[in-house]
Amino acid sequence: MKDKPQRMSTLPSGSDIHLPWHLRLPGSLERDFSEYFRNSVASVAPWAAGVLVVLLVLALATEFHISPQDAAHTWRPRLLCIMLAVATAVAARREEWRRFLMPACLALSFAIALTGDWMGLTVRHPLASSLFLQTPLAILMMCVLLRVPFYWASASSVIMIAVLALCFFATDRVDPDQALVLLLLSLASASMSLFGQYIYERLLRQHFLSEHVLFQHRDELHSANRMLESQATVDGLTGCLNRRGMEARLNEVLHGFVRGGGEERVTLLLFDIDFFKQYNDTYGHLAGDECLKTVASIPRSMAQGNKDFVARYGGEEFVVVLADTSLKDALVFAERMRTRIEQLGLPHTGSRISQVVTISVGVACVGGGTRDTLSLIKCADEALYQAKGAGRNRAAYMNPEGRVVTL
């Protein structure tokens, strides 16, 4: 029987994220979405405001053409709406004022609706009742052009239609049948506009949640990659870099040395624990591990530069790389490190030179023909070999002439 093909797991696209009917998200997500929504509106609000300014100017020009006398009553409300449209565009363009964008959009919508009601009541013209149509147009503009959030748009639409109904109730200038038609038209416009706004906001929220989940996936993946990189380049016992990490970091430091024209000095110290095999034979491997950790903590605490690092080269051998450090300063570092480790007083009865743990150090500095990782380590290794041959528990260095000198 053939195995069924396994389904490939895919990252969420937004359509597979369930949203409650009321659209509300948990607290922190809702606050983040509010900012996300405001930024999306800010990208189209200047264009929407520009369209409104053009329409208001055309309406005012038409009113002057039809009746200059009536236009004397309408130019001030039109100018107010134009000013609010410009303010909305400015709030959308200026990031520091963007928190006022939604109130500006609502103010513009109410201004268009309420000025239409006022002009419909005050203008003495047979076509004055058409000015009441600004209420459904304001609702349509609020939901389609300015994209006011659904709940704000719903409450505002109810208030606008209620004010329109009060205007019809308070005056006998509008025929009741005509008033009923205008109210039904406003209700129909509000219903369709709010339904469209609800669908738009639902899709936008799904897209926001999808991006949020994808960001979390990327963040988790980045953290996992950093953890894997750390595990691949850090020695688990001592916390120093392992050999692979050492080679990568040293190549990076040397690359900077070459690119900088040799102005930055690089020094490498190679040291190992004297008679460490005998230490393991005497005290056991667990004690040997503790000894390695203790010894490694000394150079780690001493290496202070941003580019300085300590690596476990192998077994009981360690590498210390000091960037922007002269050979003279590196020798002082090596001697202090050797002294501090000896002063730890770790018992070592298996040693032939001391009753405590000691180290031997080889020092080499970049210069002359020593400009790559292999040659630098080779010079430090030769110096370490000379330090061991001279009796251990001491440091030796490769001088610029290529001769090994023991301290």
The mean predicted confidence, pLDDT, of the chain is: 86
Higher-confidence position of 388 and 73: 388
**For residues 194 and 157, is the Cβ–Cβ distance under 8 A?**
yes
How far is CA 260 from each of CA 211, 375, 400, rounded to the nearest angstrom? 42, 19, 20
Dist CA 12 CA 19 (whole Å): 14
Whole-structure pTM value: 0.53
Average pLDDT over residues 134-140: 92
Average pLDDT over residues 279-291: 94
Q: Which residue has the tokens 């000015």?
A: 131
pLDDT band at 35 (very low <50, low <70, confident <90, very high): confident
Residue 168 has pLDDT above 50, yes or no: yes
pLDDT band at 145 (very low <50, low <70, confident <90, very high): confident
Number of Cβ atoms within 10 Å of the Cβ of 266:
24
Residue 403 has pLDDT above 90, yes or no: no
Residue 260 has pLDDT above 90, yes or no: no
Domain 243-406 superfamily per CATH: Reverse transcriptase/Diguanylate cyclase domain (3.30.70.270)
Contacts of 139 (CB under 8 A, 6+ apart): 109, 113, 153, 156, 157, 160, 161, 186, 189, 190, 193, 194
The token pair at 296 is: 């490694």
User: Closest by alpha carbon to 249, among 189, 191, 303?
Assistant: 303
Residue 11 has pLDDT above 80, yes or no: no
Contacts of 34 (CB under 8 A, 6+ apart): 149
> Exposed, middle or buried: residue 248 (CB in 10 Å: 0-12, 13-18, 19+)?
middle
395-398 β-sheet, strand order: 309-314, 317-323, 266-273, 359-365, 395-398, 404-406
pLDDT band at 10 (very low <50, low <70, confident <90, very high): low
Per-residue model confidence as pLDDT tens digits over 304-344:
888 899 999 989 999 999 988 888 999 999 999 999 999 99
Q: Which of 5-14, 210-219, 339-348 has the lowest mean pLDDT?
A: 5-14
Number of Cβ atoms within 10 Å of the Cβ of 328:
11
Backbone angles phi, psi at 82, to 5 degrees: -65, -40
pLDDT band at 1 (very low <50, low <70, confident <90, very high): very low
Q: Which of 23-32, 223-232, 308-317 has the lowest mean pLDDT?
A: 223-232
Domain spans in the chain, listed from the N-terminal domain onward: 27-217, 243-406
Residue 197 has pLDDT above 50, yes or no: yes
